[in-house]
Structure 1
Amino acid sequence: MISDANRQTPSTEEAVRACAIRAKQSCAALERAADTDIDAALRGMAERLPVARHALVSANEEDLAAAVSAGMSPALQDRLRLTGPRLEAMAAELRTLADVAHEPRNKVLEERSDGLTLLERRRPVGVIGANFEARPNVTLDIASQFLKSRNAGVLRTGSAALRSSRAVVEQVIAPALREAGLDPDAIQLVPSENRSAAYALVSLPELIPLVILRGSGESTRDLGREAARHGVRTLAHADGGGVLYVDSAADDKAVHQLIADSLDRLGVCNRLNLLLIDQSVYDERLPGILQVLNRLGITASLPPHTHPRGYEWSLDPKRAATAQFIDAYTGSGVFWNSTTRLLDGFKLLRLPEIGINIDRVPGPRGPVSFRDLHLRQYMVVPSERLTS
């Protein structure tokens, strides 16, 4: 059920629809755009980040001040914050994405004996929506992935990051698109702070047939249900948190290092959430692990637990136990002696990500990148047309 606070109002619905219409009008030209123009726009964004640094940081400081006043937790403040090193990392990711070869639009599947050839074509979705957490860098991550896949986008972020995200769009994304000869309307940011805009975003199947849902908890799952009611498809990322399994034969030094590496940032979805210790060594290993957590300023929640336990990834340092676990585990990613933070687009695939999809159905799983944002279309043509 949608609460009264989240119900669409005429103003928010009209604002989202207006964004969707502007994005839709750019789709045809974006699909025809040359690879070089797309990549030029991405490089232009990277070049503009240091130029726009003062405006971006200034807007971000306003967001942070409001967040502190509202009592936002330090972990969430950390993921909201824009710093010089983070802006540099954002620029580096854009340049990396620009250097990645574009996927072929047409792939020959079969040359038939009847003189026809079967091809598989990759077509953009058109306009894709995205509702995501209050992290201004994600605005750029998602926009760049949409553009690389030739999809226009309507973005809606948490109200805490709206000033920062608006500055990213106005100072970085739109000018870079314009300079590359692309329509700056291809990327739209919903201007409303009202959460009801998220529900409007998932209710326009004729304009926005696919919406990326990032965040956590019941609110994101509720958006998924609302989208289904309207016939809008979603790629949902509602739950996060990595899992680390400590086998009886695990090396203490490696365990402690993996725990620290998996908790280097607390406001991200692939941080360590659930630590499993083999029962036979639980009493022996727990004190050392608690010391590591104490040094990191983290208070462990010890069994018996009254809260739901997360899941996604797991680690395993012993070969026999590894094989058994990997064969049994069907989550989005499974790693051996590796930090949970690796289940991230840039850390794992060397690509920025749209989100991490953990659905147990066919389709993209794990980090979702631009390569997953297309429609498959079969095309049959006379073989002679391919050589003429």
Structure 2
Amino acid sequence: MIRRELVEIGQRAKQAARQLAYASTESKNKALLAMAEALLENEQEILRANTIDVQAAEDKGIKKSLINRLRLTSQGISNISSALREVVNLKDPVGEGEVWTRPNGLRILQTRVPLGVVAMIYEARPNVTVDAAALCLKSGNSVILRGGSEALESNKALAKVIAKAAEDSGLPAGCIQLITETDREWVQQLMRMNEFVDVIIPRGGAGLIQTVVQYATVPVIETGTGMCHAFVDRDADYEKAIPIVINAKTQNPGVCNALETLLVDETIAEDFLPKVEEELKKHHVALKGCPRTCAILPNALPAEEDDWVLEHLDLVLSVKVVSDLDAALDHIYRYSTKHSETIITENYSKAQRFLKEVDAAVTYVNASTRFTDGGRFGFGAEIGISTQKLHARGPMGLKELTTIKYMVYGDGQIVT
């Protein structure tokens, strides 16, 4: 039996989605601009709420990398506000399409329409509250938000501010709703509210995502964990390879597109590994290596099987020496979560093999995996990075929050 309060949330979201489906781009943009202003005007209230969450996380001994994802600053709120303005400037996908005429005179229009009610289930990243709401509204969807308990006060403050701004601007009540109950029973019931919810998008660690995939009856767009690899080929340019590895691992280690495993061709391992280790030390990165890596780098800790399959989300890097490109491809095939993978090489043929043969949402040549991001791909704020193959794959922006509808114009035609 679904809780009455959840039913009411679902009913409001469904009614709001009905109205948002035909809302004008101008009205949606007006609401987004109001939301951006409201965040700045209510900055102190939001920061006070965030301080409560951060203090509670520190008291629980949550690791620093996760607290950094939770923490908001004045600059951070300014950045979130700016991201809303960027969404305003993005093209509205609703109504895009193409038309053709059949021999019998029927005119068929294929057009983009909103998904309807989107439920976001995510962990301790308060910015997701605003990013998800912005992208859902611009694409004509209502959104039900269920963030992690670690960010509860922050999410409550953010959702209150942006929901009021959106509704004051003329968008329907219930277009943005936050579930504030932390009991797992609530999220379990949300995942089975097929009558009200059109799609669920989980965003977080492997445990959260797999729980949603396993128990939801509502369709799920799976945003995957990022077991991202970099393969440094024997034909690599060290002047490119070392900065790419450093950036992919250290620029923001607590995110899904950060580098987790470094694979190095055995031909260059004894030369390359000490050089990259020296640079990684400057960023306090701990290395966990295969036996051949540990023989070259005495300070590296022995890697265990789990080190090849789990996201560290921290300043820890797994390192393995492989015999060649084929061995690197085999390792990636076995352990990849199909998120983002990169090869560093000056060999065109190897680069092309890597791009084509690696089964991942994004494959790179001579670039950091940290570029797997809606903003860096030009999509604006992203709803998540899909690692599945149906409906959407890779960074998901506005277009991925719509689906297809056919409108057929006739003049008395019948089937004979």
**What is the TM-score when the length of structure 2 is the normalising length?**
0.84
1:364 to 389, 392, 401: 392
Q: Are the equivalent residues in 2 in contact too, given 1:108–1:117 (CA < 8 A)?
A: no
Q: Does 1:180 align with 2:207?
A: no
Q: Does 1:127 align with 2:117?
A: yes
How far did residue 31 of structure 1 move? 1.4
Hey, what's the Cα distance between the residues in 1 that align with 2:184 and 2:231?
37
Deviations 1:338-370 (A, max 9, x none): 1111011111224111111111x3321001112
Deviates more, 1:322-331 or 1:16-25: 16-25
How far did residue 315 of structure 1 move? 2.1
Q: Are the equivalent residues in 2 in contact too, given 1:156–1:197 (CA < 8 A)?
A: no
2:241 to 247, 250, 255: 255
Deviations 1:5-38 (A, max 9, x none): xxxxx7x844433322221121222112111010
How far did residue 375 of structure 1 move? 2.6
How far did residue 104 of structure 1 move? 4.9
What is the one-letter code of the residue matched to 2:255?
V
Residue 314 of structure 2 corresponds to which residue in structure 1?
A: none
Q: Does 1:194 align with 2:221?
A: no
Q: Are the equivalent residues in 2 in contact too, given 1:15–1:192 (CA < 8 A)?
A: no
State, as a whole percentage, how many aligned pairs show the same letter. 28
Q: Are the equivalent residues in 2 in contact too, given 1:142–1:353 (CA < 8 A)?
A: yes
Hey, what's the Cα distance between the residues in 1 that align with 2:211 and 2:168?
39
Residue 405 of structure 2 corresponds to which residue in structure 1?
A: 377
Q: Does 1:153 align with 2:143?
A: yes
Q: Does 1:38 align with 2:24?
A: no
Matches within 5 A, 1:27-176: 27-105=17-95, 107-171=97-161, 173-176=162-165
Q: Are the equivalent residues in 1 in contact too, given 2:105–2:410 (CA < 8 A)?
A: yes
1:342 to 349, 354, 371: 371
Residue 209 of structure 1 corresponds to which residue in structure 2?
A: 198
Q: Does 1:314 align with 2:313?
A: no
How far did residue 383 of structure 1 move? 7.3
What is the one-letter code of the residue matched to 2:258?
R
Hey, what's the Cα distance between the residues in 1 that align with 2:155 and 2:22?
28
Q: Secondary structure at the match of 1:346?
A: coil
Residue 243 of structure 1 corresponds to which residue in structure 2?
A: 229
Hey, what's the Cα distance between the residues in 2 that align with 1:142 and 1:90?
11
2:284 to 281, 294, 297: 297
Hey, what's the Cα distance between the residues in 2 that align with 1:54 and 1:330?
45
Q: Secondary structure at the match of 1:300?
A: strand
Count residues with an aligned counterpart: 369
Q: Secondary structure at the match of 2:255?
A: coil
Q: Are the equivalent residues in 1 in contact too, given 2:108–2:406 (CA < 8 A)?
A: yes
Hey, what's the Cα distance between the residues in 1 that align with 2:242 and 2:371?
17
- The answer for unaligned runs of 5 or more in structure 1 is 1-9
Hey, what's the Cα distance between the residues in 2 that align with 1:55 and 1:132?
22
Residue 258 of structure 2 corresponds to which residue in structure 1?
A: 271
Q: Are the equivalent residues in 2 in contact too, given 1:106–1:119 (CA < 8 A)?
A: no
Q: Specify which structure has the higher proportion of helix.
A: 1
How far did residue 106 of structure 1 move? 5.3
Deviates more, 1:235-244 or 1:341-350: 235-244
Q: Does 1:283 align with 2:237?
A: no
How far did residue 217 of structure 1 move? 1.7
Cα 1:254/1:108, change in 2 over 3 Å: closer
Q: Are the equivalent residues in 2 in contact too, given 1:122–1:376 (CA < 8 A)?
A: yes
Q: Secondary structure at the match of 2:287?
A: coil
Q: Are the equivalent residues in 1 in contact too, given 2:119–2:197 (CA < 8 A)?
A: yes
Cα 1:206/1:142, change in 2 over 3 Å: same
Hey, what's the Cα distance between the residues in 2 that align with 1:104 and 1:23?
19
Hey, what's the Cα distance between the residues in 2 that align with 1:315 and 1:330?
12
Residue 327 of structure 2 corresponds to which residue in structure 1?
A: none
Residue 24 of structure 1 corresponds to which residue in structure 2?
A: 14
Q: Secondary structure at the match of 2:375?
A: helix
Hey, what's the Cα distance between the residues in 1 that align with 2:285 and 2:91?
42
Deviates more, 1:216-225 or 1:135-144: 216-225
Structure 1 runs (4+) greater than 4 angstroms displaced: none
Hey, what's the Cα distance between the residues in 1 that align with 2:241 and 2:185?
44
Hey, what's the Cα distance between the residues in 2 that align with 1:37 and 1:380?
27
What is the one-letter code of the residue matched to 1:254?
K
Deviations 1:246-283 (A, max 9, x none): 11122223222112221211221111111111121122
How far did residue 120 of structure 1 move? 0.8
Q: Are the equivalent residues in 1 in contact too, given 2:191–2:200 (CA < 8 A)?
A: yes
How far did residue 43 of structure 1 move? 1.3
What is the one-letter code of the residue matched to 2:79?
A
Cα 1:164/1:204, change in 2 over 3 Å: same
Hey, what's the Cα distance between the residues in 2 that align with 1:200 and 1:104?
30
Residue 355 of structure 2 corresponds to which residue in structure 1?
A: 326
Residue 213 of structure 2 corresponds to which residue in structure 1?
A: 224
